[in-house]
A and B are shown apart, each in its own frame.
Chain A
Amino acid sequence: MSTRVGVVVFPGTNCEHDVVSAFERAGAAASLVWHTEERLVGFDAVVLPGGFAHGDYLRPGAIARFSPVMGAVTRFASAGGPVLGICNGFQVLTEVGLLPGALVKNRGLRFLCTPTRLRISSARSVLTGGVEPGAELQIPVNHFSGSYVCDGRTLAQLRDTDSVVLRYVENPNGSIDDIAGISNAQGNVVGLMPHPERASDQLLGSTDGLLLLRAVVAAAAGVRAA
């Protein structure tokens, strides 16, 4: 049986179908989970996709953290299940406290939809397991609030625990330490601003995102086996 990925949909989420089809390309079975669900049953990994959950009103992720499904996502994460937040999903994960720091408006104060080059900084996460540190990937970003910030102690901690998983080669948004993605200390909860699902088909320019999604699928399969 293939790995089962749950893709959470809040009102205002818009990348859910893209994420489902990219995970299917990566060999998983993916299905949508409505935000009012209070339990996550039968999933090996959970993804919070990009978009504008609850319109991004107040600030991105600020309302989504109160959606009923987030309690279940938190329990899933505590039990060691792989949780991936892409773009808006990353913002939600910081708001709900599963990842430290915050995403603020881009340097330049404009929305940015553009290809970026990323460098794998750590292979110690469900997103980057098995990918050689130092490897470069071409994956686009698509955000207004993608500049990662945190205090000095948090940054030191992130570095000490090898939890900065992706860095921009050319920083597009002013993120501290060129951070594009981080994990929690255990490595099972990961957030990143770039959209790996948008780099999962040569027809659209790059398949580098599939490396990351396949790593998530492999990690999920590993958790299930264990």
Chain B
Amino acid sequence: MSGPDSGELPSSREQPLRRELHRALGLTDEELERIVEILDREPNELELALYGVMWSEHCSYKSSRRHLRRLPTSGDRVLVGPGENAGVIDAGDGIAVAIRIESHNHPSAVEPRQGAATGVGGIIRDIFAMGARPLAVMDPLFFGPPDDARQRWLLEGVVSGVSSYGNSVGVPTVGGELTFDPCYAGNPLVNVLCIGALPTDRLVLARASGTGNLAVLLGASTGRDGIGGVSVLASAGFSGVADGAKRPNVQVGDPFEEKRLIEACLALLDAGLVVGIQDLGGAGLACATSETAARGGVGMDVDVSAVPRREPDMAAWEVMTSESQERMLAIVTPEAWSAVEELCRRWEVQASVIGHVAAGATLGEVGSKETGEVPGRLRIRDRGTVVGDVPAASLADGAPVYDRPMRAPADRERWRADDPTASEGCGDCGAELRTMLLDSSWVYRQYDHQLFLNTVVGPGGDAALLRLAGPGLPPSERGVAVTTDSSPRWCAVDPRAGVGLVLAESVANLACVGASPVAVVDCLNFGNPEHPEVMWQLSETVDGLVDACHAFGLPVIGGNVSLYNESTGADILPTPVLGVLGLVERIRRRPPPAALAADASVVLLGRRRAGDDVPHPLGGSRWAVECRGRRYGALPPLDHAAHARLAGFVASLVAAAVAGGGRGPEDAGDAGLLEGVHDVSGGGLAVALAEMAVAGGVGVRVAGVEGHQELFTELPSRVVAVTCKPGELCARADEAGVPAEIIGIAGGDRFVVEQLMDVPMADLSQAWAGSLVDRLVSA
């Protein structure tokens, strides 16, 4: 399917309906038939435009919805699950935490700076729409290899977009990921996660209620930017030809407008002046009005002539589908309106009444033939004249749900047999290790990661660890930890097992900052859903996530699906990105760093061998893919129970250190047990140890590693602990049922793994520091 330029869309509602218009809007012939059935007549152009954006893949999840239903979404702490602007959990002490993840892949591919900037703006609005103050952003980014001019343009543009918007809007960017793989060269991925916090009793939901209440549009004027962003851009692949022509479909962001909008909306909520609130993102007013009405089981009357415009002569369909940024829709009682106006004036935020909440239809008047429900109508007027009239719920929830054909890749067995573990021999381990080190500080130094004075562990750590504090929140000593993780390498080998390993890594990352996991959000980035193998990847990924979430007892409280990530017919590797939220009971001290400390012992916690047959599998590892060009084979197995034991043990030790003792002699002992801690993940033990050595500025001597396989395997459930009390640590691990072995001692200025490598620390530090900057400069 290929998208039109926005100029091809008709601009006058008087123009007679062309039957082919629906295709230009991204709707199929069958979908048009369904619309005719719902309305019991031909839709006019405005109505067709509404269905075009709302039934797009991006808004309706029509290809993925039947799979997403399988995810577990409930849990003790869950206050709001999927389907709202953001998921919300109860963090204790009267504080709730909102979290959401989204993609802004396609806009960033054609206009990296604005694409990434508006991605940040959109995710932040989702958070304060729940009444939460946005406290932190994280950005998992995926590009083609950076030694190429176009990739450098994309990377620099995306980073400057996140930096300029996020810094200026006043939300710190506390972490993320940076992944390079050739599969992203034509279709980079820009995912954005945001968390916020609110007093639990102020939670608001995006629903309209109260017939006669006012629909108030807050924020920026509406222009022609971003029309068709969700359909033309986000729900189609790239062909490589004239993709730049889609640039007008990308929105343009204004962080100063958004900053004032945040403050005004939070002040409105504080004062109890709004009944419901929803952000305007993809599909603009069409989405915000129909979703709030549908969720509230009411109708909505909107007059487009009351919408402040950025340009003259905009047609009703343009006003309704514009994706102009920095706008919110608030539902306000008529009595509260003057107070709302006054508060908005203080923050220099435009506020306009554009319509009102209408009653749901009475039985027998209008009904959806499909479901027999009696939904409220979304009625659109232009200077009083009705120009569109559709059941609100048919836009919001009425899109067809597709059961697209799925097929496992035909050559899967051959892939599995193509295993690098035994067939790739030991090479120059030191040289291979150097190529796998990546210092991403060039990226995160461009982000304000300290605002709000909450960032205890910022970017570059295993997980971000923040104090749970902010203006308007009840006092608390609690902390919140967040990590984003992904592995297209693992998921390419086996999407089901791969995503399980990703969740395991997230749990281990949280443990390393002392946090226990409480909730998951997922951003499922895949290729073209019309390719059966892509649908198979998606389905397998969901099944794998279901299994892993059940095993770790975690709910999925929100997510996003991004399809059509392809260019010139080639799909990206399956790239589920997980954001996992963890909690820490009390933060008084910094956790042990992911670093070695001179003269301390290095202890490997967790099992060292996967089994006797293949003790150290290398399938899907960074070493196999990046150093040897071998993508396939078998992934290492994951033992959920052993992993949970390990993570629980590490989290308890670190949490005790973070709490700073004071609860009794036993905890005081724990507080001093660890000098450093880091989980073993991409690149295996070699990369984990090297990162810790570089961070600590000290060498290490490791003994007893069984060859290059053990050095580079990404066997899960392992954590490197640095301690001055190795005997005590091993005894405690033993009590907890966690294997532990002393594998080395930190010190000196060489990085030594006996029998395998011996390199000067200066070489490793240099390779680390220059890894990204040198490649960018060489581009």
Interface residues of A (CB under 8 A from B): 11-12, 14-15, 17-18, 21-22, 51-52, 54-57, 110-114, 140, 142, 144, 195, 197-198, 200-205
Contacts and interface: CB of A to CB of B under 8 A. Distances in A.
A142 B453 contact: no
A85 to B, nearest CB: 18
Contact of B446 (A17, A113, A200, A203): A113
Given A11-B260, A12-B259, A113-B448, A55 B168 contact: yes
27 contacts: A11-B260, A15-B451, A17-B452, A17-B470, A21-B453, A52-B167, A52-B168, A55-B256, A55-B257, A55-B259, A56-B256, A111-B167, A113-B444, A113-B446, A113-B450, A114-B445, A140-B450, A142-B450, A144-B167, A198-B450, A201-B453, A202-B589, A203-B456, A203-B467, A203-B589, A203-B590, A204-B450
Given A11-B260, A201-B453, 13 more contacts: A11-B348, A12-B259, A17-B470, A17-B471, A52-B170, A52-B256, A110-B163, A110-B446, A112-B445, A113-B447, A113-B448, A203-B456, A203-B590
A201 B348 CA distance: 34
A113 B455 CA distance: 13
B156 to A, nearest CB: 9
B656 to A, nearest CB: 16
A57 B256 contact: yes
A195 B455 CA distance: 14
A51 B262 CA distance: 15
A11 B256 contact: yes
Given A111-B164, A113-B449, A203-B467, A11 B170 contact: no
A50 B281 CA distance: 29
Contacts of B449: 113
A144 B449 CA distance: 14
A17 B450 CA distance: 13
Interface string B228-261: 0000000000000000000000000011110110
A208 to B, nearest CB: 14
A14 B452 CA distance: 9
A16 B440 CA distance: 30
- The 10 closest A-B CB pairs, nearest first, are A55-B256, A14-B170, A111-B446, A52-B168, A17-B471, A111-B163, A18-B453, A113-B448, A114-B445, A198-B450
Contacts of B168: 12, 52, 55-56
Interface in B437-477: 444-453, 455-456, 467, 470-471
Contacts, number: 86
A12 B714 CA distance: 45
Contact of B260 (A12, A56, A114, A144): A12
Contacts of B254: 55
B587 interface: yes
B153 interface: no
Contacts of A14: 170, 259, 451
Contacts of B348: 11
A223 B520 CA distance: 54
B588 interface: yes
B170 to A, nearest CB: 3
Given A11-B256, A12-B259, A21-B453, A203 B587 contact: yes
Contacts of A11: 256, 259-260, 263, 347-348
Nearest to A195: B450
Nearest to B163: A111
Contacts of A57: 256
A222 B587 CA distance: 36
A11 B345 CA distance: 12
A142 B471 contact: no
A54 B450 contact: no
A40 to B, nearest CB: 19
Interface string B163-188: 11001101000000000000000000
A90 B587 CA distance: 33
A15 B168 CA distance: 11
Contacts of B587: 203
Given A18-B453, A205-B590, A54 B448 contact: no
Contact of A142 (B259, B444, B448, B467): B448
Contacts of B163: 110-111
Contacts of A12: 168, 256, 259-260
Contacts of B444: 113
Nearest to B263: A11
A15 B170 CA distance: 8
B588 A203 contact: yes
A29 B254 CA distance: 34
Contacts of B450: 113, 140, 142, 195, 198, 204
A52 B456 CA distance: 24
A202 B62 CA distance: 50
A204 B588 CA distance: 10
A52 B589 CA distance: 31
Contacts of A18: 451-453
Contact of B453 (A22, A52, A54, A114): A22
B262 to A, nearest CB: 10
B590 A113 contact: no
B256 A54 contact: yes
B455 to A, nearest CB: 7
A38 to B, nearest CB: 16
Contacts of A142: 167, 448, 450-451
A142 B254 CA distance: 20
A110 B157 CA distance: 12
A52 B448 contact: no
Contact of A112 (B446, B456, B471): B446
Nearest to B442: A110
A93 to B, nearest CB: 20
Contacts of B456: 203-204
Interface string B119-140: 0000000000000000000000
Contacts of B260: 11-12
A21 B467 CA distance: 14
Nearest to B168: A52
A204 B471 contact: no
B118 to A, nearest CB: 16
B650 to A, nearest CB: 21
Contacts of B453: 18, 21-22, 197-198, 200-201, 204
Interface string B255-273: 1110110010000000000
A11 B262 CA distance: 11
A14 B470 CA distance: 12
Nearest to A142: B448
Contacts of A52: 167-168, 170, 255-256, 259
A195 B451 CA distance: 10
Given A14-B259, A55-B255, A113-B450, A204 B445 contact: no
Nearest to B471: A17
Contacts of B471: 17
Contacts of A202: 589-590
A102 B263 CA distance: 30
A55 B445 CA distance: 21
Most buried by A among B168, B348, B444: B168
Most buried by B among A18, A195, A202, A203: A203
Contacts of B256: 11-12, 52, 54-57
Interface in B400-422: none
A18 B347 CA distance: 20
A55 to B, nearest CB: 3
A142 B451 CA distance: 9
Interface in B329-353: 347-348
A158 B344 CA distance: 44
Nearest to A57: B256
A113 B589 contact: no
Contacts of A21: 453
Given A12-B260, A55-B168, A204 B455 contact: yes
A17 B472 CA distance: 10
Contacts of B589: 202-203
Nearest to A140: B450
